Amino acid sequence: MSGYGKLIVFTGSTPNIGTTVLSFGTAALLARLSGEPAGYLCLNLKSSKLHHYLGLEPCPPGLDQIRAELRSGSLTPGFLKSRMEQVKGAPGVHVLFGSLQREQAEFFQPEDIGHLLDTARQCFPRCVVEVNAYWDNAATLAALMQADERVLVTSLELGHFQEDVNRGLKQMAPLFGIDPRQFRLAVAQQQRSDSLTPQDAAKETGMGLAAVVKADPELRRLLGQGRLAEYINGNEGFTQALLPLCRELGVAAAGLASREGFWTLLGRQCRLLLGGRQARRNQ
């Protein structure tokens, strides 16, 4: 598919372990580092929560609004972009929100999702796609089969990166021609009390470790308040944790350093200078 954008698909070993936060954070950082727009497709057909996390109530029209075009194969890049939202606080990210009709998930066909992904590739240099952890729906299957890059999000609970991966991804992926070792591994919610390490998870899954994101006790509260974009922009630790993954996806941090490093250095120098002056005044 020469000339088309790269498709980066995130899935979780287990539901509700932070896949949405990591995937959306990656999309925002890719746009920020590259200076190019990025698409974000929420194809979690059964439990889409992104609009809650971004404080958008009711959910903006998204996947449910383009079903007729998907079914007829008539979706165009212009029409797709017109149904995507540019979210405040995430410049450069164009979001297609997911379906809120959980009972309708089974009616999406692989051909529908394939048509959506092909069209999205024509719109953006990079498209980040989030799919459900379970391989029982067209979105998960079609997106992972078409992906240029695949990222598995897990935690350091043994049941997540061992049992869930072995019973789920490692059994299903080969049936669709996908080598589990092609996935990059992102560990979410790392805690000091964890007895296992990210390296243990990488060894068990056979995947290359690309990112480790520490647990943040404030995150759940912020998500409940619809402040995900604020969290991504204001949490340097979160950004630094995702930089290695962005490098592996072909976007280096040089742009971030050139645009922000100068201001960071200048701020430090100003604080040192002002602090020195204040100290002399107090003598």
Report pLDDT digits (tens) over 22-32: 999 999 999 99
Confidence of residue 262 (pLDDT cuts 50, 70, 90): very low
Same domain for 161 and 29: yes
What is the rounded end-to-end Cα distance, in angstroms, of the chain? 69
Sign of torsion, CA 197 198 200 205? positive
Omega cis (within 30) before 58: yes
Pair 147, 279 in one domain = no
Count of other CB atoms within 10 angstroms of residue 107:
13
Domain match, 196 and 262 both: no
Tally of CB atoms within 10 A around 216: 15
List, in sequence order, every residue forming a beta bridge with 158; answer none if it has no partner.
none
Same domain for 27 and 92, yes or no, is: yes
Confirm whether 283 is domain-assigned. yes
What confidence score (pLDDT) does residue 283 get? 52
Do residues 138 and 272 share a domain?
no
Question: Across residues 57-62, what is the average pLDDT?
Answer: 87
Residue 106 CB neighbours (<10 A): 12
Using alpha carbons, select from 246, 224, 242 the residue that is nearest to residue 233: 242
Count the domains in the chain.
Answer: 2
pLDDT (0 to 100) of residue 257: 45
What does the pLDDT look like over 182-223, one tens digit per residue? Answer: 999 999 999 999 999 999 999 999 999 999 999 999 999 999
Residues 113 and 220 in one domain: yes
Residue among 13, 73, 14, 63 nearest 42 (CA): 63
pLDDT beyond 90 at 42: yes
Res 261: pLDDT? 46
Full domain range(s) for residue 153 = 6-252
pTM, two decimal places: 0.88
CA–CA dist 103, 87 (Å, integer): 27
At residue 277, does pLDDT exceed 60? Answer: no
The reply to whether 71 and 208 lie within a common domain is: yes
Q: What is the mean pLDDT of residues 35-59?
A: 91
Same domain (yes/no): 25, 156? yes
1 located within any domain = no
75-125 pLDDT, tens digit each: 999 999 999 999 999 999 999 999 877 777 788 999 999 999 999 999 999
